[in-house]
Amino acid sequence: MTAKPFQISVSDDVLNDLRTRLARTLFTAASDTTSWAAGADPGYLRELVTYWADGFDWRAAETALNAYPHHIAEIAGRQVHFVHLRGRRAEGAPAPLPLILTHGWPSSFVEMLRVAERLADPAGHGGDPADAFDVVIPSLPGFLYSELPQGPFTRRGVAETWHTLMTRTLGYRRFGAFGGDIGGGVTQWLGALYPGEVAGVHVTSAVITTDFREQPPTAEEEAYLEALSAYDATDRGYSEIMCTRPDTIAAALADSPAGLVAWIIDKYRDWSDCGGDLETRWDKDTLLTVATLYWATGTIGSSFRQYYDYPQNRPVPNITVPSAVTLSNEPAYANIPRSLTERICTDLRHWSTPERGGHFMAHEEPEQVANELRAFFRPLRSGS
């Protein structure tokens, strides 16, 4: 299995059609006097769409993205896109440790670029060159340039694909794994399935996969689960739609770029550690880079598959490799008891609650995440 170089290239026809659609956007009125209380704020959306149509420079963004080494590999008959940053190895320093970073929804490889630069070149960012990583950032199946699997989208299935990518396509004998959200689930499966090749796993959201059949929840765990359920009652409208009627909402978002970006930024604001001000974490150019990638590839609908197929996921088996958690500062995970993670991670070596950085922590706090990854993997590098 080999990988071939790839470059992002959006045609002028696609861009011209996008601008035409943006210019013809029909905006709704706000349903609540409090900004963002009822979803994407119409005033901010109008501002963002106006800039997207007549201000945002996609070609500059495309050039910046193509400065990274993109590749396409075929695995199990499906196309997998990934960025591959080779670590900068100082003379006399050990070989960089391979590390795969997996994003979640509604995200992309773009989320991981800021931290990847710090991981691949620690000396260039004030760190120790001995901490360098070879960084691999794949796009999840159905996201952007990666194709959906032949069967259901499961986190186990993605982990199996990532293992093939790392060991057979790229030839790594041993590697680490990091992720949050869907990427956290994939990362946990990597640790559970491949203890011989996975040096350690690090997640930013302690994904709960236990079914409590063998050991009922403790009082602390039960309180957390009740609080999580109460939060979900006000937040899960998006997921209920994508779990049950993904093709219906996809039809609207595939036809309206304004609708597409509204669907995305609602979650970027709600889940980021931004204090209600989205652009403290995501500037307009980055938001629109992600939105344009989704639009140009027509993959917002296929990105929903992991929601529709979610019932086909199974609980993660025990993870015996060294594990680490850096909790994201978002309602769904900020107060999760450590004991829930210890139920499946039998060698939990690192538990951190920095109270900075939300759902997209690698983008929001890249220096923090880089430091946590360096510290966790430093004693695990031997044999890589």
Q: What percent of the chain has pLDDT over 90?
A: 85
Lowest-pLDDT range of 256-270, 314-328, 329-343: 329-343
Give the mean model confidence (pLDDT) for residues 116-145.
Answer: 96
205 or 354, higher pLDDT: 354
Q: For residue 208, is pLDDT > 80?
A: no
The mean predicted confidence, pLDDT, of the chain is 94
Q: For residue 14, is pLDDT > 90?
A: yes
What CATH number did the domain enclosing 289 receive? 3.40.50.1820
Whether the bond into 317 is cis, omega within 30 of 0: no
Whether 319 is in a domain gets the answer yes
Compute the chain's Rg from CA coordinates. Answer: 20
Can you tell me the distance from the alpha carbon of 333 to that of 356, in angstroms, rounded to the nearest whole number?
Answer: 12
Q: For residue 383, is pLDDT > 60?
A: no
Residue-level pLDDT at 236: 85
Whether 121 is in a domain gets the answer yes
Give the mean model confidence (pLDDT) for residues 184-192.
Answer: 97
Can you tell me the distance from the alpha carbon of 124 to that of 146, in angstroms, rounded to the nearest whole number?
Answer: 31
Q: Which domain holds residue 150?
A: 4-24+38-207+228-380
Sign (positive or negative) of CA dihedral 374, 202, 308, 49: negative
Q: Strand 323-326 relative to strand 348-352: parallel, antiparallel, unpaired?
A: parallel
Whether 91 is in a domain gets the answer yes
Q: For residue 235, is pLDDT > 70?
A: yes
Q: What percent of the chain has pLDDT over 70?
A: 98
Q: Identify the band that residue 335 occupies on the pLDDT scale cut at 50, 70 and 90.
A: confident
Q: Identify the band that residue 209 occupies on the pLDDT scale cut at 50, 70 and 90.
A: low
Whether 320 is in a domain gets the answer yes
Q: What does each C-alpha distance from 204 to 188, 201, 296, 310, 360 come to in angstroms?
A: 11, 10, 29, 20, 9
Residue-level pLDDT at 94: 82
- φ, ψ for residue 135 (rounded to 5)? -105, 130
Residue-level pLDDT at 300: 98
Residue with tokens 């391979």: 98
Whether 258 is in a domain gets the answer yes
Confidence (pTM) = 0.96
Please give the positions annotated as active site: 181, 307, 359
**Which residue type sits at 377?**
F
Q: What is the dihedral of CA 122, 126, 127, 130, to 10 degrees?
A: 60
Strand runs labelled E in 301-354:
323-326, 348-352
Q: For residue 384, is pLDDT > 50?
A: no
The pLDDT tens digits for 29-54 are 999 999 999 999 999 999 999 999 99
The pLDDT tens digits for 252-290 are 999 999 999 999 999 999 999 999 999 999 999 999 999
Q: Identify the band that residue 148 occupies on the pLDDT scale cut at 50, 70 and 90.
A: very high
Element (H, E) at 101: strand 97-102
Whether 33 is in a domain gets the answer no
Residue-level pLDDT at 332: 81
- φ, ψ for residue 3 (rounded to 5)? -115, 145
Angle, helices 42-53/12-23, rounded to nearest 10 degrees = 140
What's the total number of domains in the chain? 1
The closest of 220, 199, 226, 262 to 52, measured between CA atoms, is 262
Q: What is the Cβ-side half-sphere exposure of residue 362, based on CA atoms within 13 angstroms?
A: 30
